[in-house]
Amino acid sequence: MLDPIQRLTLECRRIFLRNHEVPVQIGAHDFEKSQAQRVIFNVELFVPYALSTPQADQLNEVVDYDFVREMIAQRIRQGHVELQETLCDDLAAQMLAHPRVQAVRLSSCKPDVYPDCEAVGVEVFRMKEWTP
């Protein structure tokens, strides 16, 4: 019997959005609350082949990349968020609510916080219960 991660690897298509850069009102420090910061998102959605293998080569047969971009845009429009952890948790939950999505790996990073490192960020992995 396969463990859940092996099942994802063998039975799912991985749909991804890489290095999606968006200005976000984010940060817990006072200096971060006056203007938007660059935030870079990386998202992977794991969708079972049975729910993502097109028969008629039509967009409605798969999970569209626009879904990921729109979820990020909707969350950002809700206003300032203090923590990347909150932002990632919210986005992962929204994406995992899609009926075809079995698991989500999502990260955000802020590349402009410290001059001596490339970025600071958070990554989460969430998965639905998978019954045999």
Residue 10 covered by a domain: yes
pLDDT tens for the chain, residues 1 to 132: 778 889 899 999 999 999 999 999 999 988 888 899 999 999 999 999 998 998 999 988 889 999 999 999 999 999 999 999 999 999 999 999 999 999 999 999 999 999 999 999 999 999 998 765
Q: What is the CATH number of the domain that holds 22?
A: 3.30.1130.10
CA pair distance 35, 43, nearest whole angstrom: 25
Which pLDDT score is estimated for 30? 87
Q: Which pLDDT value is given to residue 4?
A: 84
Neighbours of 4 (CB within 10 A): 13
pLDDT at 93: 98
| Domain presence at residue 19 | yes
Q: Give the chain's domain count.
A: 1
- Edge-first strand order for the sheet with 120-127 is 12-24, 37-48, 103-110, 120-127
Measured over the CA atoms of residue 49, residue 54, residue 58 and residue 61, the dihedral's sign is negative
Say if 42 falls within a structural domain.
yes
**In this structure, is residue 29 part of a structural domain?**
yes
Collapsing DSSP states into helix, strand and coil, what is residue 84?
helix
Residue 132 lies in a domain: no
Q: Containing domain of residue 37, as a range?
A: 4-52+61-127
Alpha helices in 13-113 (DSSP H): 65-77, 84-96
Q: Give the separation between CA 132 and CA 130, rounded to whole angstroms.
A: 7
